[in-house]
Chain A
Amino acid sequence: MAKEFELNDVEVWDGNYAASQALRQAQIDVVAAYPITPSTPIVEGYGAYVANGYVDGEFVMVESEHGAMSGCVGAAAAGGRVATATSSQGFALMAEVLYQASGMRLPIVMTVVNRALASPLNVRGDHSDMYLGRDSGWIQIDAFNAQEAYDLALCAFRIGEHKDVRLPVMMHQDGFTTSHKAQNVYPLKDSVAYKFVGDFVPVDDMLDFSRPVTHGAQTEEDWHYEHKAKQHKALMDSRTVIDDVFAEFKEITGREYKRVESYMMEDAEVALVLLGSSVETAVLAAKQLREEEGLKVGVVAPRCFRPFPYDLVREALDVPSLKSVCCLDKSAPGGAMGALFNEVSAAAYSTKARPMMTNYIYGLGGRDFAVDEAKRIMREQKAHADAGHITTDIQQFSGLRGPKLGFFKTRRD
Chain B
Amino acid sequence: MVEIRWHSRAGQGAVTGAKGLGSVVATTGKEVQAYALYGSAKRGAAMNAYNRIDDEIITNQETKMFPDYVFVIDPALAFSDDITKNDKPDTQYIITTHLSKEDLIAQIPALQDKADRTFVVDCMQISLDTIGRAMPNTPILGAFMKVSKMYELDFFLDNMKKVLEKFPQKIIDANMDAITRAYNEVK
Report the minimum CB–CB distance from B160 to chain A (whole Å). 13
Q: What are the interface flags for A277-288 relative to B under an 8 Å C-beta threshold, 1 for contact and 0 otherwise? A: 110110110000
Give the docked Cα–Cα distance between A204 and B9 (Å). 54
Q: A368 on the interface (CB 8 Å rule)?
A: yes
Q: Let me know if A284 and B32 touch, CB within 8 A.
A: no
Of the candidates B35, B38, B57, the one having the most CB atoms from chain A within 10 angstroms of its own CB is: B35
Q: Which of B121-155 contact A (CB under 8 A)?
A: none
| Distance, CA A8 to CA B36, complexed state (A) | 24
B76 within 8 Å of A (CB atoms)? no
> Once the chains bind, are A183 and B59 in contact (CB under 8 Å)?
no
Cβ of B68 < 8 Å from any Cβ of A? no
Q: Are B61 and A12 in contact (CB under 8 A)?
A: no
CB distance from A241 to the nearest CB of B (A): 28
Contact among A11, A14, A184, A371 with B60 in the assembled complex (CB-CB below 8 Å): A371
Q: CB of A180 within 8 A of chain B?
A: yes
Do residues A183 and B62 form an inter-chain contact, with CB atoms below 8 A?
A: no
- A12-B19, A12-B23 as given contacts; A182 in contact with B61, CB under 8 Å: no
The answer for the CA separation of A8 and B26 in the assembled complex, in Å, is 11
**Does A177 belong to the interface (CB within 8 Å)?**
yes
- Assuming the contacts A183-B32, A184-B31, asked whether A281 and B62 have C-beta atoms less than 8 A apart, the reply is yes
User: Is residue B64 contacting chain A, with contact meaning CB distance below 8 A?
Assistant: yes
Separation in Å of the A48 CB from the closest CB of chain B?
13
Question: What secondary structure prevails in chain A residues at the interface with B?
Answer: loop
- The answer to whether A281 touches B61 (Cβ under 8 A) is yes
A278 shortest CB reach to chain B, Å: 7
With known contacts A12-B19, A368-B64, A284–B59 Cβ distance under 8 A: yes
Which residues from A are CB-within-8-Å of B62?
A: 281, 368-371
CB-CB under 8 A from B38, the residues of chain A are 176
Q: Which residues of B contact A176 (CB under 8 A)?
A: 35, 38
Residues of chain B contacted by A14 (CB below 8 angstroms): 35
B-chain residues with CB within 8 Å of residue A283 when the two chains form the complex:
59
Asked whether B14 is an interface residue with its Cβ less than 8 Å from the other chain, the reply is no
Q: In the complex the two chains form, is A12's CB within 8 Å of B32's CB?
A: yes
Shortest CB–CB separation between residue B146 and chain A, in angstroms? 23
CB–CB A181/B35 < 8 A: yes
B59:A182 contact, CB within 8 angstroms? no
**Interface pair A280/B64, CB less than 8 Å apart:** no
Bound together, the chains give a CA A283 to CA B32 distance in angstroms of 18
**Chain B residues whose C-beta falls within 8 Å of the C-beta of A180 in the assembled complex:** 35-36
The A/B interface has a contact count, at CB < 8 Å, of: 65
Interface residues on B, range: 20 to 34
Q: Are A184 and B26 in contact (CB under 8 A)?
A: yes
* Chain A positions 1-29 with a Cβ under 8 Å from a chain B Cβ: 8, 10-12, 14
A277 touches B22 (CB 8 A): no
Docked pose: A281 CA to B64 CA in angstroms:
12
Assess the B26–A278 pair: CB atoms within 8 A.
no
Contact partner, A370, options B23, B32, B57, B64, Cβ 8 Å: B64
Q: Which residue of B lies closest to A366 (CB)?
A: B63
Bound: A159/B9 CA distance, A: 44
CB distance from B25 to the nearest CB of A (A): 8
Q: Which residues of A contact B36 (CB under 8 A)?
A: 180
Interface 1/0 per residue, A259-283 and B, CB below 8 Å = 0000000000000000001101101
**Which A residue's beta carbon lies closest to that of B64?**
A368
B8 within 8 Å of A (CB atoms)? no
> Is B63 in contact with A280, judged by CB distance below 8 angstroms?
no
Complex CA gap A298/B26 in Å reads 30
Determine the chain B residues whose CB is within 8 A of the CB of A183 once the complex forms. Answer: 22, 31-34, 58
User: Is B80 an interface residue when CB atoms closer than 8 A count as contact?
Assistant: no
Say how far A322's CB is from chain B's closest CB, in angstroms: 23
Assess A182 versus B34: contact at CB under 8 Å? Given A177-B63, A284-B60.
yes
| Docked-complex contact A281 and B35, CB < 8 angstroms | no
Known pairs A12-B19, A182-B19, A182-B33; A281 contacts B27 (CB<8 A):
no
Chain A 173-192 interface 0/1 with B at a Cβ cutoff of 8 Å (1 = within): 00011101111100000000
Known: A181-B33, A183-B32. Is A280-B59 also a contact (CB below 8 A)?
yes
Question: Do A182 and B35 contact each other (CB < 8 Å), given the known contacts A278-B61, A284-B59, A368-B63?
Answer: yes
Please give, as numbers and ranges, the residues of chain B lying within 8 Å of A11 by CB-CB distance.
Answer: 23, 26
Task: Find residues 40-94 in chain B having any chain A CB closer than 8 Å to their own CB.
Answer: 57-64
User: Can you give 24 contacting A-B residue pairs, CB < 8 Å?
Assistant: A12-B23, A12-B26, A14-B35, A145-B59, A145-B61, A177-B35, A177-B61, A181-B33, A181-B35, A182-B22, A182-B34, A183-B22, A183-B33, A184-B26, A184-B31, A278-B61, A280-B59, A280-B60, A281-B61, A283-B59, A368-B62, A369-B62, A370-B62, A370-B64
Having A145-B59, A176-B38, A180-B36, one finds 11 other A-B pairs with CB under 8 Å, namely A11-B23, A12-B26, A181-B34, A182-B19, A182-B22, A182-B34, A184-B31, A281-B59, A281-B60, A368-B62, A368-B63
